[in-house]
Amino acid sequence: MSAARIRAGIRGNAPELGLAAAGGLAAVAASFAAAGDPTAFVGAAVEAVIRDTAPEPVVEFVRSDLRDLAAPTLLATAVVAATALFALFGLAGVAVDRRTDSLGAGVAVAAVLGGGASTLLGVGPLPALAAAVPTALVPVTARATGAPTTVSKRRRTLLGSVGGLLGLAGASTVLGTQRGGSIDPEPLDEAAETETLLSTADERSLDLAGTGGLVSDSFYEVDYSNFDPTVRKDDWSLTVTGEVEEEVTVDFEGLRDMSTEHRFVTLRCVSDPLNGNKMDNALWTGTPLADLVEEAGPGGGCECVRLRAADDYYQVFPLAALRNGFLAYGMNGTELPKGHGHPVRVLIPGHWGEINVKWITEIEVLDRDAEGYWEERGWHGTGPVETVAKIGSVDERDDGTVRVGGHAYAGTRGVSAVEVSTDGGDTWSEATLSPTLPGDDVWRMWAHEFAADGTHEVVVRAVESDGTVQPREETDAYPSGATGWVSRTVEAER
C-alpha cells in the first residue's frame, strides 16, 4: 500500500480511529478503577509483559543510557501499548458490525476480545469486565456517529462520543487513584521512643551545607514496577513455605505481638552510581525474623530462600542472611509509607537494597539454588554492599577555607575512619566523623576542612572497622555495584 493510500485510509476512518483510541484509554482506566490495587489492572500487566520480554539490547540501552528515565519511559510505553491494544479490539468490533450489519455481533466481539485479553494478562474478573465495557462501547458509538444525515450532526455526535469516553477515562483514573492510592501511614504506638532516637540522630549529624543528616529527609525509592501494590495491614499476612517441617503464617496483629525493636538501617541500591543518590538511612521499627523462620523448621538442600512480594517481585539469597533479618513495619516513627513496603518489608543487614523485599508475602525455603528477578537479568546484588565514602557537600567559605563532607557506608563491616586527600591522593588526613548510631548496619557522616589554594583534587576513602582501606579500583554499578574512591575537583576562588 502506498503512503498516500494509507493517509487517505486514515482520513476516511478518522472518526473510528478517534473513538477507538478514546475507548482504549477508557478501557485501561476503567480496569484501573475496578482493580482497587494498582498492580492488578491491565496497564500494570502490560507494563510487566514489556519489561520482562524486552530484548537484551533494549534492556542494556535502558540500563546504561536512560537510567533514571527508565521508569517513566516504561510507564509511558505501557500506557500507549495498552491503549492501542484495547483500541484494536474496539476497531475489530466496528469491523464485525460493518460486515454483518449486526451491532450485537460487533459489541460481542469487542467485549470478548477486551475481557479475554485482560484475563490472559492475568487480571481478576472485575478489572477484566471493567476493561470490556468501554471496548464494547466503541462499535456502539461508531454506529451512532454514522447515523445522522448531516455532516454537522455527525461531527457533533462524534465529538460527544469521544468526549464521553475520555470523560469516562478521566473519572476512572481519579476513582482508581482514590481507591488504590491512599494509604496514610499512622504514627506508631512507640512514638515516644522513636522521637528520642530520631533526636539522637539529629544531634549526632554533622551540619553540612546542601546535604542531609544521619536520617534522610527523603528516602530513595527503587521499584521494578511503576505500580506499588496497595496492601492494607488487616489484609496482610506472611507465610513461611517450601522445605519446612510446618508452614507458619503470621498476620499483622501477630507480628505486633512479637518483640518490638528500633534499628537504624542504611540501604543502598546495587544500581547506585559511585557518588549517586540511591543510598539512605532511616529508623525502622519491627521484629527480628529468626524465631519465625526457626518455628517453621527449615530444611532443603541449598540453605537458601526465595522471598515473594505483593507486586510479584522475588529474590533468592542464603538462609543465613535471612536469619539476621528484620521485619519492619515502622519507618521514622510512623507505619511504613506505601512506597517503602506498607505494611511490612524485610531488612537484611549489610546486603544490597534489592533483597530488602517490600510488601513481603512469602518466605519460601528452597531445595535447590535459584535466581532472583535481578539476577536473571545479570545483576549480582544479593550479597554484602561495597564500601563507599561519598562527597555530598563542598562549601567554599569567604575566608578561603573549604569544608567538604558527606556520608560513608560499609554495611555490617562498619566505618571506623574516613580519609581525605586534597592533592589527588598523595597525602591523606583523617576526617571528622559523626558519632555512631545504635545499630550494626548504619552509615556515618564525615567532614574535612582545608585552606584552599588554587586547584584541589579532593579524594575520599573509607576505612572499615577492622582497618581495611576501601579499595581504589573503580567499577561500574552493573553488575556488582559501584566501587572506587570518590573524587571532586575544587577550584578555589583566590
Ligand X SMILES: Nc1nc2c(c(=O)[nH]1)N[C@H]1C(S)=C(S)[C@@H](COP(=O)(O)O)O[C@H]1N2
Q: x/- site string to Mo ion, residues 327 to 366, per CB under 5 A?
A: --------------------------xx------------
Interface with Mo ion includes 411 (CB under 5 A)? Answer: no
Q: How far is the CB of 307 from ligand X (least distance, A)?
A: 8
Q: How far apart are CA 90 and CA 165, in angstroms?
A: 12
Smaller CB distance to ligand X: residue 356 or 434?
356
Query: For residue 196, what is the DSSP state?
Result: H
Interface with ligand X includes 403 (CB under 6 A)? Answer: no
Q: How far is the CB of 304 from Mo ion (least distance, A)?
A: 19
Q: What residues contact residue 489 under an 8 Å CB cut-off, 6+ apart?
A: 455, 456, 457, 458
- Do residues 269 and 222 lie in contact, with contact meaning Cβ atoms separated by under 8 Å? yes
Interface with ligand X includes 263 (CB under 6 A)? Answer: no
Give, in order, the Cα–Cα distances in Å from 200 to each of 12, 110, 416, 439. 71, 62, 19, 13
Smaller CB distance to ligand X: residue 221 or 476?
221
**DSSP string over 423-473:** BTTSS-EEPEEPPPPSSSB--EEEEEEEE--SEEEEEEEEEETTSPBPP--
Alpha helices in 227-383 (DSSP H): 252-257, 290-296, 319-323
| Beta-ladder partners of 215 | none
Smaller CB distance to Mo ion: residue 373 or 428?
373
Q: x/- site string to ligand X, residues 276 to 315, per CB under 6 A?
A: ---------------------------------x-x-x--
Q: How far is the CB of 268 from Mo ion (least distance, A)?
A: 8
In this chain, which of 50, 105, 166, 222 binds Mo ion, going by CB under 5 A? 222
Residue located via cell numbers 549517586 = 276
Which of ligand X, Mo ion, none binds 478 (CB below 5-8 Å, type-dependent)? none
Taking each helix axis from N to C end, the angle separating 70-100 and 42-53, rounded to the nearest 10 degrees, works out to: 120
Interface with ligand X includes 221 (CB under 6 A)? Answer: yes
Q: How far is the CB of 439 from ligand X (least distance, A)?
A: 17
Interface with ligand X includes 327 (CB under 6 A)? Answer: no
Smaller CB distance to Mo ion: residue 154 or 278?
278
Q: What 3-state DSSP class applies to 397? A: coil
- Do residues 26 and 79 lie in contact, with contact meaning Cβ atoms separated by under 8 Å? no
- Judged by CB under 5 A, the chain residues 251 through 270 that form the site for Mo ion are 269
Show the beta-strand stretches assigned E in 226-271: 237-242, 248-251, 261-268
Q: How far is the CB of 354 from Mo ion (least distance, A)?
A: 4
| Beta-ladder partners of 239 | 249, 362
Interface with ligand X includes 359 (CB under 6 A)? Answer: yes
Which of ligand X, Mo ion, none binds 311 (CB below 5-8 Å, type-dependent)? ligand X
| Beta-ladder partners of 267 | 280
Q: What 3-state DSSP class applies to 335? A: strand
Apex 445 CA angle, 439 and 446, nearest 5: 140
- CB hemisphere CA count around 465 (13 angstroms): 12
Smaller CB distance to ligand X: residue 359 or 450?
359
Interface with ligand X includes 269 (CB under 6 A)? Answer: yes
Through-space distance between the first and last CA atoms of the chain, rounded to whole angstroms: 70
Interface with ligand X includes 478 (CB under 6 A)? Answer: no
In this chain, which of 353, 392, 406, 439 binds ligand X, going by CB under 6 A? 353
Residue located via cell numbers 527523603 = 218
Which of ligand X, Mo ion, none binds 20 (CB below 5-8 Å, type-dependent)? none
Which of Mo ion, ligand X, none binds 359 (CB below 5-8 Å, type-dependent)? ligand X
**Residue 285 φ/ψ, nearest 5 degrees:** -115, 135
Apex 479 CA angle, 475 and 483, nearest 5: 25
Q: How far is the CB of 75 from ligand X (least distance, A)?
A: 14
Q: What 3-state DSSP class applies to 279? A: strand
Smaller CB distance to ligand X: residue 158 or 410?
410
Which of Mo ion, ligand X, none binds 309 (CB below 5-8 Å, type-dependent)? ligand X
Interface with Mo ion includes 419 (CB under 5 A)? Answer: no
Interface with ligand X includes 219 (CB under 6 A)? Answer: yes
Smaller CB distance to ligand X: residue 339 or 471?
339
C-alpha cell at 151: 455532516
Interface with ligand X includes 358 (CB under 6 A)? Answer: yes
Which region among 144-152, 356-364, 419-427, 453-461 touches ligand X (by CB under 6 A)?
356-364
In this chain, which of 51, 263, 340, 413 binds ligand X, going by CB under 6 A? 340
- Interface residues with ligand X (CB under 6 A) are 219-224, 267, 269, 309, 311, 313, 340, 353-354, 356-359
Residues in contact with Mo ion by the rule CB under 5 A: 222, 269, 353-354
